Structure 1
């Protein structure tokens, strides 16, 4: 999950913004927490049911990587028009639209007649998820500005909690032998209901961003921005791999039942959530470069150990440490991007975000291709390589 601030997100009611009351701000914060959690729940359900998609359509790792590639392509392409869509329709409407399309796509994922029908659906799924992500992060950023205190770490923690809950719930439903199609339809409908209810309590308007000029719609990364973007790419590649392949690794390589393998996604998400909730206090006391390096080393060593040991329950322990190690990568690197001189905060974040999302685009399909040629265990070792690159590059963060 990323914090994205497109520079072309104008105030919802420019020139008419009024400071909300403390009660109204509290309601809006709770609504944003619910929206982040809802996205996590859908992501958790999707992660657990990737093996279901593989089985339903008789896919090998190479074909499955095409499915993941389609979703990632939709997410990346959406970044180029999400800001203008939100500017035209407003944050609330764009968020609700993204939620409905995203949930409908997930509910239908096991109903298509063949792979050629599934791929466009996954493209739409990724695009809707990206639009939803941009809209809810725009709301969270506005709440920080209006409320005068940081809440993004807490919000991203709620995303991880939602991922844990979605994965755990889906694993439980599998143990109860409830059909995957019924599960995905029910979870999707519940998420839409929560989003529609919580959307009523979002901010009615956003304050104008003084740093967002017409020239800051998008800035191609170079220099320090390019370095930071590449480090985000490494971190998000590893995160995307964990989301898309962790359950399949436990099921296919280590022989766990799918209902039990789903716990792996929940463990990863839970560890990341706890680390994010406590991350702000750590960043206040320790240098960010040291935290970034330490997190990368923890995640890399844990991933290497679980792949070498090859024991199901030790893998779950390893997933927890990988989650802890990856938790602060995005907050630290996005914060570093805003300190690059000569670039507005919005343009800097949009720039490095575009590279970061490419990690989700490249990572999971690359794992699938290597797994097809060698093995999934060998392919997941690329996460260790990404973490080594992140640890080495941490010294470039001021």
Structure 2
């Protein structure tokens, strides 16, 4: 699908640059989502019609994609071998697949349950309840936009493990909180923690020896988006059986899983190699 194709192209461009840039691509996706939400809210406040709004957004997206695709790099070397849209992770990628599942499980859970937790468990107003996901999304965008620099400074393995630690710390604040602002800080820490992990996973998977990059990226996307889909309903079932406060502890468990398997990301991202046949680009 489009998501796999975009990440495969991003991996190719990263190889051409010879340094980490995958997190910046995902950071711009986050910025686009925030800007889209802001523009949509502004147009709604002006009572702008839904149909012209969506038609305008679609036309703008078409023009931007038509311009952007002119600069795409051609597939070369291993990248000429196409991979499927859906793929189960090969055995060598299973630890990174587990991390991808854990990261997007946390993203999906925060997206669906942060406002509910703040409103129902901590008795916040609807406006304050929305701040939980806003803090998560803002710190995720900030983390991704600085993620490439952090990868160079700290290394991929330390960045992934540090992200897992932030998830554990964030969920600890959330379940311990008795006031909304402390839980909002916790959701923000989770956003910062998971921000760079999925881009690093994709970059590492695409450079795993013996695995076609397209297949590796499809496998990580399959594992990750499976977590995004099953996370919210599982949290809901656990909350029904116990409480939402206890159910959110699942996120802490997945933070520990990220810490456990974080070392599998380091070797592939230690050096970003230039794919065969692609000219190195300068920034």
TM-score bracket for this pair, using the shorter chain length? 0.7 to 0.9
Query: What is residue 275 of structure 2 aligned with on the other side?
Result: none
Q: 2:29 aligns with which of 159, 165, 169?
A: 159
Q: 1:167-246 maps to which residues of 2 (within 5 A)? A: 188-189=54-55, 191-204=57-70, 206-212=73-79, 216-217=83-84, 220-246=88-114
Question: Compared with structure 1, are the counterparts of its residues 225 and 304 closer, same or farther at alpha carbon in structure 2 (3 Å cutoff)?
Answer: same
Counterpart of 1:307? 175
Give the alignment of 1:347-358 within 5 angstroms: 347-358=215-226
Report deviation, 1:372.
2.2
Q: Which has the higher contact order (CA 8 A, sep 6+)?
A: 2
> How many angstroms apart in 1 are the aligned matches of 2:133 and 2:36?
9
- SS of the aligned residue for 1:229 comes to helix
Contact map agreement 1:163 1:266 (CA 8 A) in 2: no
Query: How many positions carry a matched residue from both structures?
Result: 264
2:127 maps to which of 237, 259, 268: 259
Q: CA deviation at 1:160?
A: 2.0
Q: Hey, what's the Cα distance between the residues in 2 that align with 1:294 and 1:360?
A: 21
The verdict on how the C-alpha distance between 1:268 and 1:355 changes in structure 2, with shifts beyond 3 A counting, is same
Runs of at least 5 residues in structure 1 that lack an aligned partner in the other structure: 1-81, 83-130
Give TM-score scaled by structure 2 length.
Answer: 0.79
Task: Report how far residue 332 of structure 1 moved.
Answer: 2.1
Indicate the SS of the match to 2:77. Answer: coil
Query: TM-score with structure 1 length normalisation?
Result: 0.58
Alignment partners' CA distance in 2, 1:378 and 1:335: 34
After the TM superposition, which residues 128-147 of structure 1 pair with which residues of structure 2 at under 5 Å, given as runs?
131=2, 133-134=3-4, 136-137=6-7, 140=10
The 1:264–1:144 alpha-carbon spacing in structure 2 relative to 1, beyond 3 Å, is same
Do the aligned residues in 2 keep the contact of 1:371 with 1:377 (CA within 8 Å)? yes
| In structure 2, C-alpha distance between the alignment counterparts of 1:372 and 1:170, rounded to whole Å | 34
Task: Quote how far apart the aligned CAs of 1:323 are.
Answer: 0.9
**Residue 309 of structure 1, CA deviation:** 1.2
RMSD in angstroms over aligned alpha carbons? Answer: 3.1
Rounded Cα–Cα distance in structure 1 between residues aligned with 2:254 and 2:234: 13
- 1:136 CA displacement: 4.3
